[in-house]
Amino acid sequence: MKVLLIPDWQGCTIITDNGYCTIQGLPNDIVDKVFVSEIPISNGIGLITPLVNELTIVSGSSAASLYCELLNEHHIVTREIFNTKPSVLLKGIRNG
């Protein structure tokens, strides 16, 4: 599944092959709740695993840099594209 992340000052918009959604919150919380899963093993020990392998992020803001850093900590590959016309963004997500 291809994922495009468009950060803004209140959260982000996520576009996938199946649709899109807008999420409000801090980048740390969004990454932990949307892109990463913690599977409890025992006594407070959990296995943290990414839910996506890679995504494209619209670059050019401090929020985008923070998302890249947080996602990379979870071994999620980020590909950056610069803010441009919506048609170019959607073409980028379709072509990978």
Which pTM was predicted? 0.78
**21-72 confidence digits (pLDDT tens):** 999 999 999 999 999 998 888 888 888 899 999 999 988 788 899 999 999 9
- DSSP E strand boundaries for 1-96: 3-8, 11-16, 19-24, 36-42, 45-50, 54-59, 77-82
Is pLDDT above 60 for 96? no
Which stretches within the chain are classed as H helix? 27-30, 62-73, 86-95
Task: Provide the pLDDT for residue 87.
Answer: 64
User: Confidence band (pLDDT; 50, 70, 90) for 89?
Assistant: low
Residue 72: predicted pLDDT: 94
Residue 7 is predicted with a pLDDT of 92
pLDDT at 59: 86
